[in-house]
Amino acid sequence: MDLSYTAQEDEFRARLREWLGKVLPTLPVKPSPDDWPGRRAYDLGWQRMLYDAGYADVHWDASPTTRLIFLEETEKAGAPYVGANFVGLLHAGPTIAAEGTPEQRERWLPPVLRGDEVWCQGFSEPDAGSDLAALRTRAWRDGDDYVVTGSKIWTSHAEVADWCELLVRTDADAPKHRGISWLAMPMSAAGITVRPLRTLAGSAEFAEVFLDEVRVPVGNRVGDENDGWRVTMVTLSFERGTAFVGEVVACRRVLGELAVEARRNGRWDDPVLRRQLGRLNAEFRALWRLTQWNVSEAEASGGVPGVGGSVFKLRYSHARQELYDAAADVLGPDSLDLERAWVLDRLSSLSYTIAAGTSQIQQNIVAERILGLPKGR
Amino acid sequence: MRFQLTDEQKALRAVVRDVIGRSSAAGVWGLVAQFPAPLIDRGFWRALGELGVFSLRLPEVDGGAGLGLPEAVLVFEELGWALVPGPLVATHLAAGVVPGAATGETVVAAADGSLVEWLDEADVVLPGAEGAVALRSVDPLTPLHRVPAPGRTDPVAVLLTAAEQLGTAARVCELAVQHARTREQFGQAIGGFQAVKHLCAQSLVRVEVARAAVYAAAVTGDVVDIAAARVLADEAAVRGARDCLQVHGGMGFTWESEVHLHLKRAWVRARRGGGNTESEELLAADLLAGVAWRGACLR
């Protein structure tokens, strides 16, 4: 067991740190959360800077440890988040890299890396959430096209995306997991309506997408027809890999800030609150160590993230909510003021035990795939 | 970065598992039968000494194996898993200090917080046990005395206790899963019901989080890491044993089920060093010291 880094890894960290110190002061002003075109331009601009500096493919080709260092250092330096590039870099891109034809990889991957194109995700539907395989958006073959009708929900960046990774039902008679296909749908196609959805935090972070006889070329299908479920699982395993590295770093920073604020406003003298903050320190230290453990494991096994990601996500999502509940205890009455730091974060933390597989689904995964308990209902 | 067990560490764990698994399985119930005055099996204690349980961190010139905290933690995790009784941590810490401790010839107890485990069976008590009064111990496998003056708690003792708790947490998770797989009600294994399945999953999550914390603390030897390991391992062991008992239903409430032995031992260990208040306060103070942040930068 070793927590030290190799000379090569240390060198990567030092170079990255130096580069971040140089470029971050040159970034334009961050656009407001409601300015979607502005956000797109800002996020793509950042990706372009990463590309020019040789960091664009760190999510794909780098070793898990290198990726860990990249995510840790960019967060600590206050660099922009992956933002609008999220689906392209962490969902659709890896899927196309793993399952696409050489032509498909050539068409779609370079624009993602260069920061030219934005992807969104059309997986969930109003009646297919945790039971994703129950999705009903239909695609019929018509010559060289699929004709797609249905609706998708929880689609982030739909307003500004160029492409949508779309799951559609291509065989309604097959068992539900075997009749699904994975399509790359151009968001410029006729028949697409995007309706923003306002979250409980007040902002429109995602959208519903209605599809009315949208034509998608058959050549945009990645993987075989009706093999989309397997293709999708490739994507989801990427999502559960190092997805939360930057966030754990950020949570540790917030925790330190909470302690300082509690000392300033006198709440620190409450031993119950103080010890709760102490427990959260233990929690996030351990989550960081668990990240290092999982990354080391992935390194040893050739870079494939395992179901360990579900264990991590279960604990992290809960810890994040506890962190912002503690923030509310530190703030006291100010915890009801949306202008105060941490109050919006507390609201958005509520999504963590739901998004990307609810805690209940994750517990099923852990129990069935790791512990070997029988599937049941 | 290779934060995984090395081949040597895996081999060490396998040897320990083999030796204590064979020796202690029957021994535990023999000991329970001696309740309320269990005795230490001196032959087994010497066998633990031969295995290197007490001496493994001593330099080779002093008869040890010259190993470090990571190896000690792996060994104590196995001891916890197998419910091995006796003042293991105290004797380990006395190796090289008290003659015979390293080899298992001498049983050493220590005042830890305001309690001493195994006082009557110990050959030596550190730093002493003046005014000790026997309790009727809740754990049939750990006789306890109260002492008036709280003893100082060595961070290594805290870490090794956390390792034992980790072993208990892993064991009770396994027991819960075994039971959930085999026990049938309503015509199916109860592990198929989400209400039961989720208890098992939560138990595993606590084990894995505690494991990362305990192993990392063993690598860094940092007192704040050790405090974190302690808090999380206590939680994993105690909550895990509670949930294991719940999964076992009525059988879990009986004397002949081993579940209560794990829970009671976890309770005893959770009181060492006066409970985890001190660890939580240390972790809280660390937030203001800013050490957490700098530490994270370095490693």
In a domain, A375, yes or no: no
Is the CB of residue A313 less than 8 Å from the CB of residue A240?
yes
Please name the residue of chain B whose CA is at the shortest distance from the CA of residue A6: B1
CATH number for the domain harbouring residue A17: 1.10.540.10
| pLDDT reading at A64 higher than 60 | yes
What pLDDT shows up at residue B291?
A: 43
CA distance A244 to chain B (A): 15
What pLDDT shows up at residue A241?
A: 61
Please name the residue of chain B whose CA is at the shortest distance from the CA of residue A315: B205
**φ/ψ bin of B63: left (φ > 0), alpha (ψ from -120 to 50), beta (otherwise):** left
Is the CB of residue A367 less than 8 Å from the CB of residue A319?
no
In a domain, A359, yes or no: yes
Of B213, B280, B292, the CB nearest to A289: B213
What pLDDT shows up at residue B128?
A: 85
Is there a contact between B284 and A300 if contact means CB atoms under 8 Å apart? no
Among residues A114, A130, A157, the one where a domain terminates is A114
Contacts of A204 (CB under 8 A, 6+ apart): A34, A196, A197, A198
In a domain, A25, yes or no: yes
| Cα–Cα distances in angstroms (integers) from residue A108 to residues A48, A62, A103, A332, in the given order | 16, 19, 9, 49
Is there a contact between B4 and A360 if contact means CB atoms under 8 Å apart? no
Residues A245 and A358 in one domain: yes
Strand A221-222 with A163-169, pairing: unpaired
In one letter, which amino acid is A181?
Answer: S
ipTM of the predicted structure? 0.94
Is there a contact between B181 and A372 if contact means CB atoms under 8 Å apart? yes
Residues A27 and A64 in one domain: yes
Residues A110 and A53 in one domain: yes
| Chain B interface test: which of A281, A310, A360 (most B C-beta within 10 Å) | A281
A264-295 confidence digits (pLDDT tens)? 999 999 999 999 999 999 999 999 999 999 98
The angle subtended at Cα A250 by Cα A244 and Cα A253, nearest 5°, is: 150
What pLDDT shows up at residue A306?
A: 62
Is there a contact between B205 and A366 if contact means CB atoms under 8 Å apart? yes
What pLDDT shows up at residue A172?
A: 95
Domains of chain B: 7-151 (1.10.540.10), 156-298 (1.20.140.10)
| Mean pLDDT, chain A, whole residue set | 93
Contacts of B145 (CB under 8 A, 6+ apart): B115, B116, B119, B129, B132, B133, B134, B135
The angle subtended at Cα A259 by Cα A253 and Cα A262, nearest 5°, is: 140
What pLDDT shows up at residue B24?
A: 62
Residues A105 and A128 in one domain: no
| Chain A interface test: which of B67, B182, B205 (most A C-beta within 10 Å) | B205
Residues A65 and A125 in one domain: no
CA distance A312 to chain B (A): 8
Indicate the number of domains in chain A: 3
Residues A75 and A139 in one domain: no
Other C-beta atoms lying within 10 Å of the C-beta of residue B68: 14
| Cα–Cα distances in angstroms (integers) from residue B49 to residues A31, A98, A237, B142, B241, in the given order | 66, 53, 46, 20, 29
Q: What span, in angstroms and rounded, lies between the C-alpha atoms of B261 and B263?
A: 6
Per-residue three-class SS string for chain B: CECCCCHHHHHHHHHHHHHHHHHHHHHHHHHHHCCCCCCCCHHHHHHHHHHCCCCCCCCHHHCCCCCCHHHHHHHHHHHHHCCCCCCHHHHHHHCCCCCCCCCCCCCEEEEEEEEEECCCCCCEEECCCCCCEECCCCCCCCCEEEEEEEECCCHHHHHHHHHHHHHHHHHHHHHHHHHHHHCEECCEEHHHCHHHHHHHHHHHHHHHHHHHHHHHHHHHCCHHHHHHHHHHHHHHHHHHHHHHHHHHHHHHHCCCCCHHHHHHHHHHHHCHHHCCHHHHHHHHHHHHHCHHHHHHHHC
**Chain A contact set for B220 (CB, 8 A):** 3
Among residues A59, A86, A114, the one where a domain terminates is A114
| Chain B interface test: which of A371, A375, A377 (most B C-beta within 10 Å) | A371
**Domain residues for A138?**
119-225
| Cα–Cα distances in angstroms (integers) from residue A158 to residues A118, A183, A193, in the given order | 9, 16, 10
What pLDDT shows up at residue B34?
A: 80
In a domain, A264, yes or no: yes
The residue with greater pLDDT, B176 or A202, is B176
Average pLDDT over residues A314-342: 97
In a domain, A78, yes or no: yes
Q: What span, in angstroms and rounded, lies between the C-alpha atoms of B172 and B243?
A: 8
Average pLDDT over residues A164-183: 97
Q: What span, in angstroms and rounded, lies between the C-alpha atoms of B168 and B244?
A: 11
CATH number for the domain harbouring residue A148: 2.40.110.10
Instruction: Tell me which of A239, A283, A297, A299 is the catalytic residue.
Output: A239
Please name the residue of chain A whose CA is at the shortest distance from the CA of residue B198: A363
Residues A245 and A361 in one domain: yes
Among residues A225, A253, A285, the one where a domain terminates is A225
In a domain, A309, yes or no: yes
Residues A42 and A162 in one domain: no
CA distance A155 to chain B (A): 29
Q: What span, in angstroms and rounded, lies between the C-alpha atoms of B49 and B43?
A: 10
Task: Give residue for tokens 């010291």.
Answer: B289
| pLDDT reading at A238 higher than 60 | no
Residues A21 and A141 in one domain: no
Is there a contact between A376 and B284 if contact means CB atoms under 8 Å apart? no
Of B1, B204, B231, the CB nearest to A3: B1
Residues A11 and A92 in one domain: yes
Is the CB of residue A298 less than 8 Å from the CB of residue A305?
yes
Is there a contact between A289 and B290 if contact means CB atoms under 8 Å apart? no
CATH number for the domain harbouring residue A291: 1.20.140.10
Of A263, A292, A299, the CB nearest to B288: A263
Residues A35 and A52 in one domain: yes
Is there a contact between B212 and A293 if contact means CB atoms under 8 Å apart? yes
Residues A246 and A200 in one domain: no
In a domain, A2, yes or no: no
Instruction: Please indicate whether residue A239 is annotated as part of the active site.
Output: yes
A123-167 confidence digits (pLDDT tens)? 999 999 999 999 999 999 999 999 999 999 999 999 999 999 999
Is there a contact between B215 and A295 if contact means CB atoms under 8 Å apart? no
What pLDDT shows up at residue B298?
A: 32
In a domain, A357, yes or no: yes
Contacts of A322 (CB under 8 A, 6+ apart): A280, A283
**Per-position pLDDT tens, chain B of length 299:** 899 999 999 999 999 998 887 666 556 777 787 877 888 999 999 999 999 999 999 999 998 999 999 999 999 999 999 999 999 999 999 999 999 999 999 999 999 888 999 999 999 999 888 899 999 999 999 999 999 877 678 999 999 999 999 999 999 999 999 999 999 999 999 999 999 999 999 999 999 999 999 999 999 999 999 999 999 999 999 999 999 999 999 999 999 999 999 999 999 999 998 889 999 999 999 999 854 444 433 33
Extract long-range pairs of B129-136: CB within 8 Å, 24+ residues apart.
Answer: B136/B36
